[in-house]
């Protein structure tokens, strides 16, 4: 069994300091990332080039020394492999010009073969692993089936989820057929990343937090569970549902080794409820990193005090690094993890 801090935390073993990493730690807040992106010509070009993807994955590790490196990629790549056109527009993000519109489109989605369809992902993981410091864990990831369904049906930012909810409630059998296809694609993608060298994986469900618990239990959770089955016993798994404060019991029941918490969850309460069976990741508000480094450090110490050194804590933000964040703030966040853990007041 590996003695890497991140993997030990996922086994809920006692540590002197919690491991630390950040969602979107490779991104636009880093000047070296912006240089690579400008030379590459765009976001997808970097994802598809294993050398560039590996380089930007390693940049924050070199600069800040996090305990985990998460592959630079995108949650939506399986949809492109299933036959959907995916483009990234500056200022708008991911766009599917031809979103799914009914049972015929859903039935036309093809099963993926990650080794051929997403071979660049495996190649990037292998490159990163070859250069990682010994203590750093390699993380793979994918979007959860519900979040992928939101983008596939809405065609872009699914904030309102009108098309998603309409299909879900008017034609639940068709919606569940889509979810089954997506779950199988996600399962294959996660399994391939582990086979390529990922030591743990994260399942990101950005939009499922908008569901009430009954709908989450019927339309999202079973398919997340199905997607995670391919990596049981092969790598520890972390589940994250943004804005899922009301769904924590359901997320905890997915069977993962870890659960990531967004910034609106009380970390002490979460440890009291779930800390005996799950590692808990989080959960500083990402906007705190827009402040001064000394204030970032103080607020990070508040998070550490809430965790109180309990086994299974992974220090992270409650969501991704914002593009306006200054590198000095990230440095203060990471440095705080190396200092003595403050006690709860």
Q: How far apart are CA 342 and CA 338, in angstroms?
A: 11
User: Who contacts 143 (Cβ-Cβ below 8 Å, separation ≥6)?
Assistant: 75, 76, 78, 151, 186, 203, 204, 205, 206
pLDDT of amino acid 90: 78
Distance of CA 28 to the CA centre of its chain: 17
pLDDT of amino acid 341: 73
**What is the DSSP track for 234-289?**
TS-EEEEETT-GGGHHHHHTT--SEEE--TTS-HHHHHHHHTTT-EEE--B-GGGG
- Which helix or strand (DSSP H or E) is residue 105 part of? helix 103-108
Condensed to tens digits (0 to 9), the pLDDT of residues 220-229 reads 999 999 999 9
Nearest of 61, 75, 2, 78 to residue 26 by alpha carbon:
61
Q: How far apart are CA 252 and CA 249, in angstroms?
A: 5
Q: Which residues of the chain have pLDDT under 50?
A: none
Q: How far apart are CA 151 and CA 79, in angstroms?
A: 9
Residue 300 Cα distances to 59, 201, 256, 296, angstroms: 22, 24, 26, 6
Q: Which residues pair with 237 in a beta bridge?
A: 201
Instruction: For the beta carbon of residue 38, count every other beta carbon within 10 angstroms.
Output: 9
pLDDT of amino acid 257: 98
pLDDT of amino acid 343: 62
pLDDT of amino acid 344: 60
Catalytic residues: 24, 28, 37, 74, 151
**Domains of the chain with CATH codes:** 5-337 (3.20.20.210)
HSE, CB side, 13 Å, CA atoms: give it for residue 76: 23
Residue 209, token pair as written in the block: 């937090």
Is the pTM higher than 0.85? The answer reads yes
Residue 284, token pair as written in the block: 């500083």
Residue 336, token pair as written in the block: 């705080």
pLDDT of amino acid 93: 85
The residue ranges of DSSP E strands in 54-196, in sequence order, are 68-70, 87-89, 93-95, 137-143
pLDDT of amino acid 342: 67
């Amino acid at each position: 069994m590996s003695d890497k801090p991140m993997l030990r935390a996922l086994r809920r073993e006692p540590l002197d300091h919690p491991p630390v990493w950040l969602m979107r730690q490779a991104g636009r807040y880093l000047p070296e990332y912006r240089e690579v992106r400008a030379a590459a010509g765009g976001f997808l070009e970097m994802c598809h080039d294993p050398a560039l993807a590996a380089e930007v994955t390693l940049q924050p590790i070199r600069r800040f020394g996090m305990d985990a490196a998460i592959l630079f990629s995108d949650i939506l790549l399986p949809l492109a492999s299933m036959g959907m056109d995916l483009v990234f527009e500056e200022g708008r993000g991911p766009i599917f010009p031809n979103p799914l519109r009914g049972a015929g489109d859903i039935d036309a989605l093809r099963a993926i073969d990650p080794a051929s369809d997403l071979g660049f992902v495996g190649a990037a993981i292998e490159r990163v692993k070859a250069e990682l410091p010994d203590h750093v864990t390699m993380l793979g990831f994918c979007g959860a089936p519900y979040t992928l369904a939101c983008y596939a049906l809405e065609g872009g930012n699914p904030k309102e989820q009108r098309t998603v909810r309409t299909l879900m409630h008017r034609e639940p059998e068709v919606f569940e057929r889509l979810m089954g296809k997506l779950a199988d694609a996600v399962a294959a993608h996660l399994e391939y990343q582990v086979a390529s060298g990922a030591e743990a994986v994260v399942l990101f469900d950005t939009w499922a937090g908008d569901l009430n618990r009954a709908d989450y239990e019927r339309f999202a959770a079973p398919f997340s569970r199905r997607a995670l089955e391919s990596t049981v016993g092969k790598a520890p798994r972390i589940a994250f549902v943004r804005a899922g404060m009301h769904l924590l019991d359901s997320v905890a029941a997915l069977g993962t080794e870890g659960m990531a918490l967004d910034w609106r969850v009380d970390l002490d309460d979460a440890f009291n409820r779930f800390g005996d069976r799950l590692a808990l990741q989080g959960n500083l508000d990402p906007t705190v990193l827009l402040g001064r480094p000394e204030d970032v450090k103080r607020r990070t110490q508040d998070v550490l005090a809430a965790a109180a050194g309990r086994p299974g804590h992974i220090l992270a933000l409650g969501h991704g690094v914002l593009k306006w964040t200054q590198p000095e703030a990230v440095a203060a966040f990471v440095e705080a993890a190396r200092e003595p853990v403050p006690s709860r007041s």
